[in-house]
Amino acid sequence: MFTSTPSVHRILGYPLESIQIDPATGVCLADMPPDVLDDFHVRSIGKPLQDFVKKVQF
């Protein structure tokens, strides 16, 4: 989810993370500690991607 109020923090190479928030917590991604940000990515991208790859037959 995006917000119109950007964080004052920036993550080098990931400028959009300063305007993205975690819908579950309302915290801006750029404001999260690295371990919490990693957990967010696993929850929002990693797990769904793993489930998709398991379903695809090669």
> Is residue 45 in some structural domain?
yes
**Contacting residues for 17 by C-beta, under 8 A, at least 6 apart:** 10, 11, 28, 29, 30
CB-facing half-sphere around the CA of 28: CA atoms within 13 A: 17
> Is residue 31 in some structural domain?
yes
Instruction: Give the range of the structural domain holding residue 28, as residue numbers without chain letter.
Output: 15-55
The number of domains in the chain is 1
> Is residue 1 in some structural domain?
no
> Is residue 3 in some structural domain?
no
The pair of three-digit structure tokens given for residue 9, joined into one six-digit string? 């923090």
CB 21 within 8 A of CB 2: yes
> Is residue 30 in some structural domain?
yes
Q: What is the pLDDT of residue 14?
A: 93
The pLDDT profile of the chain, 58 residues, written as one tens digit per residue, is 999 999 999 999 999 999 999 999 999 999 999 999 999 998 888 888 989 998 987 7
> Is residue 9 in some structural domain?
no
Q: What is the pLDDT of residue 57?
A: 75
> Is residue 47 in some structural domain?
yes
Q: What is the pLDDT of residue 47?
A: 86
Q: What is the pLDDT of residue 2?
A: 94
**Contacting residues for 32 by C-beta, under 8 A, at least 6 apart:** 22, 40
